[in-house]
């Protein structure tokens, strides 16, 4: 039988104990969880409210909040609350999926660079440095403006409603992996000198087995922290690109393109800009607080 005191001192339980002391991180986690649940069930809430977020009603433009439209209507008479929930689906899922994709690329690059070292490490890290040196926003604008038909994609794909969503994920995955790559490389350099790795090498385990069965599980905690901190940045990038007309394209709503649509109505209907802008601010700062809390929780040097 396992010793209860040993279970209570397990790394996971110690991390959770440290995380619980971070009040802002706990509040941020609860807020983000609530937002994710709301946007996942946006279609059901839309049915409960009895409104259609895509239904245009030019006779009910920019109306004030009412029993039928809780946050009023936009410049085309569409329900603002429902569109905010659907926009949250795109903005939040774009941030989460793109951050995970970038972390996957960065993990593979950092793991190979740190484990094999030598010339491969030098090549991969110089390539990483070159990506870091690129001006990020101008590069994203150029990549987002590429005509997908001219690079060989069929018209059915290039003109689909979801292509802008996939484009953002691919762009972020191409340029957003560098932080995770450096983090994973540094941790791998330390871990490959540990006794359990040397023991695996001694019994003839393959390089792939050692990297993904022995080293990678010890990298999960810092990767989770890095992903959490990067989600907010991805949401900001998506919002900026959508605001410039290069991100998520209408009629698919996102918080960024809702801000774009509201910029000409700032004097007539200022709340159309306040709502998505406030949600972007709250979401980004919540992910940052959550990342800070996880970073403190998984820090082995932190006090219990």
**pLDDT for 56 beyond 60:** yes
Which residue, chain included where needed, has tokens 């330390």?
A: 190
211 DSSP assignment: I
Q: Is 82:49 a contact under the CB 8 Å cutoff?
A: yes
Domain limits, the chain: 27-40+71-297
Cα–Cα distance between 45 and 60 in angstroms, integer? 21
Mean pLDDT confidence for 208-237: 87
pLDDT at 300: 59
**pLDDT for 151 beyond 90:** no
- Whole-structure pTM value: 0.84
Cα–Cα distance between 210 and 205 in angstroms, integer? 6
Helix 118-133 vs helix 80-116: angle between axes, to the nearest 10 degrees? 150
For residue 193, count CB atoms less than 10 angstroms from its CB and return exposed for 0-12, middle for 13-18, buried for 19 or more: exposed
33-48 tens-digit pLDDT = 999 999 998 888 888 8
Backbone angles phi, psi at 206, to 5 degrees: -70, 165
Mean pLDDT confidence for 199-226: 87
Nearest CA to 94 out of 295, 243, 230, 260 is that of 230
pLDDT band at 304 (very low <50, low <70, confident <90, very high): low
Buried b (16+ CB within 10 A) or exposed e, 238-274: bbbbbbbebbbbeebbbbbbbbbbbeebeeebebbbe
Q: Is 211:191 a contact under the CB 8 Å cutoff?
A: no
Percent pLDDT > 90 in the chain is 22
Cα–Cα distance between 66 and 70 in angstroms, integer? 5
85 DSSP assignment: H
Cα–Cα distance between 104 and 235 in angstroms, integer? 18
Q: Report angle CA 95, 106, 111 to the nearest 5 degrees.
A: 150
**pLDDT for 8 beyond 60:** no
157: which residues sit within 8 A by CB, 6+ positions away?
148, 163
Of 251 and 130, which is predicted with more confidence? 130
Q: Is 239:254 a contact under the CB 8 Å cutoff?
A: yes
Lowest mean pLDDT among 75-79, 91-95, 187-191, 243-247: 243-247
Residue 93 CB neighbour total at 10 angstroms: 15
Overall size of the chain counted in residues? 304
212 DSSP assignment: I
**pLDDT for 242 beyond 90:** no
For residue 11, count CB atoms less than 10 angstroms from its CB and return exposed for 0-12, middle for 13-18, buried for 19 or more: exposed
CATH number of 27-40+71-297: 1.10.3720.10
pLDDT band at 72 (very low <50, low <70, confident <90, very high): confident
pLDDT at 122: 94
Identify how many contiguous H helices and E strands the chain contains and give both numbers. Answer: 15, 0
Cα–Cα distance between 286 and 291 in angstroms, integer? 8
Structure tokens at 267: 């004097």
Percent pLDDT > 70 in the chain is 94
170-180 tens-digit pLDDT = 888 888 899 89
Structure tokens at 172: 């972020």
Q: Is 82:42 a contact under the CB 8 Å cutoff?
A: yes
């Amino acid at each position: 039988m396992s010793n209860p005191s040993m279970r209570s001192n397990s790394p996971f339980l110690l991390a959770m104990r440290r995380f619980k002391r971070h009040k802002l991180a706990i509040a941020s986690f609860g807020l983000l969880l609530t937002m994710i649940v709301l946007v996942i069930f946006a279609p059901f809430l839309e049915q409960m409210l009895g409104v259609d977020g895509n239904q245009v009603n030019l006779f009910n433009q920019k109306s004030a909040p009412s029993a039928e439209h809780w946050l009023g209507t936009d410049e085309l008479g569409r329900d603002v609350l429902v569109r905010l929930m659907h926009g949250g689906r795109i903005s939040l899922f774009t941030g989460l999926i793109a951050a995970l994709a970038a972390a996957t690329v960065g993990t593979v690059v950092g793991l190979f660079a740190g484990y094999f070292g030598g010339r491969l490490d030098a090549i991969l890290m110089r390539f990483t440095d070159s990506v870091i040196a690129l001006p990020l926003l101008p590069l994203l604008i150029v990549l987002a403006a590429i005509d997908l038909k001219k690079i060989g994609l069929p018209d059915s794909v290039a003109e689909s409603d979801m292509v802008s969503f996939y484009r953002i994920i691919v762009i972020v995955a191409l340029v957003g992996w560098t932080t995770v790559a450096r983090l994973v490389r540094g941790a791998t350099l330390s871990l490959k000198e540990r006794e359990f790795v040397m023991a695996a090498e001694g019994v003839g385990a393959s390089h792939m087995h050692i990297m993904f069965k022995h080293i990678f599980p010890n990298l999960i905690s810092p990767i989770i922290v890095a992903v959490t901190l990067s989600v907010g940045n991805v949401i900001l990038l998506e919002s900026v690109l959508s605001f410039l007309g290069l991100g998520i394209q209408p009629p698919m709503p996102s918080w960024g393109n809702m801000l774009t649509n509201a910029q000409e109505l700032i004097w007539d209907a200022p709340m159309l800009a306040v709502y998505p802008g406030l949600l972007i601010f709250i979401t980004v700062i919540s992910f940052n607080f959550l990342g800070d809390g996880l970073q403190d929780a998984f820090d082995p040097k932190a006090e219990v």
